[in-house]
Amino acid sequence: MSLFELSGFQRDLLYVIAGKENPSGQDVKEELERHLGGGINHGRLYPNLDTLVKQGYVEKGTIDRRTNSYSISEKGLEELEEHREWKRQYFPMEEASEA
């Protein structure tokens, strides 16, 4: 499965996980809620995280007996980079201007 076959929500989860160091599911949820402007329920969050783990994009670890951590896998990083490059051909980022 490629990143293009994931939902937008799942891709957003990948970006948040890639940008944080071993976040918990709650950390990921709070970060997305800040940007989406609304609540994300557990019934949406955790099944999507589990899908990303099963597909090999994310690795699941343990913080304590009740809390899991998530980290981006090598496959996840490679796919995010490919997706980013694909988007750049349609919406190129301007180079930082030299001041």
Q: How far apart are CA 13 and CA 65, in angstroms?
A: 23
* Phi, psi angles (nearest 5°) of residue 91: -140, 80
**pLDDT, position 10:** 95
Q: Which class for 14: exposed (0-12), middle (13-18), buried (19 or more C-beta within 10 A)?
A: buried
DSSP letters for 7-76: -HHHHHHHHHHHTSSS-BHHHHHHHHHHHHTS---HHHHHHHHHHHHHTTSEEEEEEETTEEEEEE-HHH
Q: Give 15-42 pLDDT, tens digit per residue.
A: 999 999 999 999 999 999 998 888 899 9
Can you give the pTM of this predicted structure?
A: 0.85
State yes or no: pLDDT of 43 exceeds 50: yes
Domains of the chain: 3-87 (1.10.10.10)
